[in-house]
Structure 1
Amino acid sequence: MFKNKLVNIMLIIIVALTLVGVVTLVLVNHLTKQPDANAEPTIDEIIAQSIETEEITTNLLSNDFVRASFRIHVDNKKALEEIQKRDFQVENIILRSLSGKESSELAGPEGIEALEKQLKDQINHLMQQGSVVQVYTTSWVIQ
């Protein structure tokens, strides 16, 4: 390359140090990357940290009846264990909430959303190990 051996050796050392520096920088950035706490959970995380209720049928105030089931997503494994143990209390909350409503209050997406929020708040009041992230309605029939 160059006629002087010293220039060749210096050039090789500079290139080697640059490569080591770039590799080190990439590894440090990759290994110290923290997961975003505000990131949306993946579908696998939601399924792993949620419980499906049995189908619940109850009368409404308006002499109609509703048949519904829900998936309750909690924020951690301890909360999942707790809510599995409290399944009878959760079903009681759902039954009381549904039986106190009229079919007109539950009609449409707004009614379902309001019920999901109410259930989330009431179940969170019950929880000690964690909290409910979201209540999803998985089946819904009003007659």
Structure 2
Amino acid sequence: MKNSIFKTMMIILGTITVLGAAALVLVLNMSEGQADGERDIDEIVESSMTTEDITTDIEGGDYVRISFRVVTDSEDALNELEKRDFQMQNILIKEMATMEGKDFSSDLDNLEEEVKARLNELMTEGQITEVYTVDKVLQ
């Protein structure tokens, strides 16, 4: 009798262990895209905003009209960024004022990274994950 109960308990424990391991494997594989930081394009669009066209003078007397798409990591961060719109425009104008016309032809990556870093210093509800230049006219 004791042998039969022991065997039954071992079978039940073995079954629970196998089911638990299978569930763990499924959970880890299902959330793999999220763990890698990959986001679906719809999520990116929902948590990003496009700035208004900003026209400003730059080093050397030229003018530039430019707009950016700023991507955040969450809806809360997007709401905060929308409230900080005036600070974002201030950062953009100050960063562009020190650039020359040739920088806008070949060095926009540095501008995007600098804007991202400066905005992240201000953010409290999340982070800026990317800044994309979506429109640019140099005169």
The Cα shift of 1:105 comes to 2.1
Structure with the larger helix share:
2
Q: 1:113 aligns with which of 104, 109, 113?
A: 109
Q: 1:74 aligns with which of 47, 72, 75?
A: 72
Q: 1:32 aligns with which of 27, 35, 38?
A: 27
The Cα shift of 1:29 comes to 6.4
TM-score (norm 2): 0.77
Tell me which structure has the larger Cα radius of gyration.
Answer: 1
Map Cα deviations across residues 92-119 of structure 1 (whole Å, 9 max, x no partner).
Answer: 11111111211122222xx111110110
Specify the alignment match of 2:85 in structure 1: 87
Specify the alignment match of 1:62 in structure 2: 60
The Cα shift of 1:32 comes to 2.6
The Cα shift of 1:31 comes to 5.8
Specify the alignment match of 2:129 in structure 1: 133
Amino acid at match of 2:47: Q
Specify the alignment match of 1:124 in structure 2: 120
The separation in 2 between residues aligned to 1:72 and 1:78, in whole angstroms, is 14
- Name the Cα RMSD after superposition: 2.2
Deviates more, 1:87-96 or 1:27-36: 27-36
The separation in 2 between residues aligned to 1:35 and 1:41, in whole angstroms, is 11
SS at match of 1:136: strand
The separation in 2 between residues aligned to 1:114 and 1:130, in whole angstroms, is 22
Return 5+ residue gaps in structure 1 as ranges: 1-23
The separation in 2 between residues aligned to 1:32 and 1:105, in whole angstroms, is 47
The separation in 2 between residues aligned to 1:72 and 1:85, in whole angstroms, is 14
The separation in 1 between residues aligned to 2:26 and 2:76, in whole angstroms, is 28
Between the two proteins, what is the percent identity of the paired residues? 37
Query: Across the two proteins, how many residue pairs are aligned to each other?
Result: 120
Return 5+ residue gaps in structure 2 as ranges: 1-18
